[in-house]
Amino acid sequence: MASHYGGSEIFDWLKVIHEKAHGNADLCAHFFRRAGQLLGKGGTAGFVATNTIAQGDTRATGLQYLSSQRSSIYDARSSFGWPGEAGILVTVVLFSVGTAANKATVRLDGLRVARINSRLRPRPERPDPVRLSSNLGLSFQGSVVLGDGFRLTPGEKEHLIALDSRNAERIEPYIGGSEVVTSPTQAFERYVINFGRLPLEDAAAWPDLLASLKERAKPERVRIPWGQGIAT
Other residues' Cβ atoms within 10 Å of the Cβ of residue 74: 23
- The helix (run of H) or strand (run of E) holding residue 45 is strand 43-50
Residues in the chain: 232
Instruction: Measure the CA–CA gap between 87 and 75, rounded to whole angstroms.
Output: 24
Q: Is 125 exposed, middle or buried (0-12, 13-18, 19+ CB in 10 A)?
A: middle
Find out whether 91 and 79 touch, Cβ atoms under 8 Å: yes
Query: What is the bridge-based pairing of β-strands 71-81 and 89-97?
Result: antiparallel
DSSP string, 164-189: -GGGGGGEEE---HHHHHH-TT----
Find out whether 91 and 78 touch, Cβ atoms under 8 Å: yes
Per-residue pLDDT of the chain (232 residues; tens, 9 = 90+): 444 455 567 888 888 899 888 888 889 999 999 999 999 888 999 999 999 999 999 999 999 999 998 899 999 999 888 888 888 889 999 999 988 778 789 999 999 999 999 999 999 999 888 888 888 888 777 777 878 889 999 999 999 999 999 999 999 998 887 788 888 888 888 899 999 889 999 999 999 999 999 999 888 877 765 444 343 3
Other residues' Cβ atoms within 10 Å of the Cβ of residue 13: 12
Find out whether 173 and 188 touch, Cβ atoms under 8 Å: yes
Find out whether 61 and 29 touch, Cβ atoms under 8 Å: yes
**Predicted TM-score (pTM) above 0.85:** no
Q: Report the SS3 class of residue 127.
A: coil
User: pLDDT tens digits for 18-60?
Assistant: 988 888 888 999 999 999 999 988 899 999 999 999 999 999 9
Instruction: Measure the CA–CA gap between 136 and 89, rounded to whole angstroms.
Output: 35
